[in-house]
A and B are shown apart, each in its own frame.
Chain A
Amino acid sequence: DTGVSQDPRHKITKRGQNVTFRCDPISEHNRLYWYRQTLGQGPEFLTYFQNEAQLEKSRLLSDRFSAERPKGSFSTLEIQRTEQGDSAMYLCASSSTQGRTPETQYFGPGTRLLVL
């Protein structure tokens, strides 16, 4: 059983550019979450999907951010017109509503974004 994978692991971009991150959840996990973590803080919730439906978005997710999970499997998170304040670790997690502990989320290794 492979874990959650994220690609790329690191991304350096210039301010104003668009970036896209991918997350592949644990197979058969129907929920997928995106979080953002900055230095010295805990992860902060951005958005989550159940299958292909986006069920909740945080107010942290400005209109420059968009997330998709088109077929209920992998997900992408796109940031348009990046700003230096977007520099952070972007974490993906998945869970199963059918499992014994649906509350438990399993995290990927993260994508570290640096905006210059």
Chain B
Amino acid sequence: DQQVKQNSPSLSVQEGRISILNCDYTNSMFDYFLWYKKYPAEGPTFLISISSIKDKNEDGRFTVFLNKSAKHLSLHIVPSQPGDSAVYFCAASVGAQKLVFGQGTRLTINP
């Protein structure tokens, strides 16, 4: 039972353009959503998060959008930079407890 899904295993974007990573979830009890970035052989690094009472949160080049009716969230990175190349995971939780992760999307930024 995959409660959090990232349907695109990979994404390739030109440097300077916008990267959009998508995530769908099935559990309507999720009340907090997070995005993590992961480089090989390292642990996930927290990027940005959003509460279920909001529909948008922005932090510098990163913006997360939440559409509760569609049970969908997205991460926008603009402008994309070569250092953004990594695997991105979305995660969700209920009541600040365990995180449920998607399978990840590998983002490659091309110069």
Contact = CB atoms under 8 A, between A and B. Distances in A.
B34, B36, B42, B44 — most chain A CB neighbours (10 Å): B44
B22 interface: no
Contacts of A42: 4, 6, 89, 91, 101-104
A103 B34 contact: yes
B44 A107 contact: yes
B32 interface: yes
Nearest to A10: B41
Contacts of A40: 103-104
Contacts of A72: none
A66 interface: no
Interface residues of A toward B: which range? 20 to 34
Interface of A: 4, 6, 33, 35, 40-45, 48, 56, 58, 91, 93, 95, 97, 101-110, 112
Nearest to B95: A103
B49 interface: yes
B111 interface: no
27 contacts: A4-B43, A6-B43, A35-B99, A42-B91, A42-B101, A42-B102, A42-B104, A43-B99, A44-B101, A45-B98, A45-B99, A45-B100, A56-B97, A56-B98, A58-B98, A93-B43, A102-B96, A103-B49, A103-B93, A104-B49, A105-B34, A105-B46, A106-B46, A107-B36, A109-B42, A109-B43, A112-B41
Given A41-B103, A48-B97, A104-B34, 16 more contacts: A6-B43, A40-B104, A42-B91, A42-B103, A43-B89, A45-B98, A48-B98, A91-B44, A93-B43, A103-B32, A103-B96, A104-B46, A105-B99, A106-B46, A107-B44, A108-B43
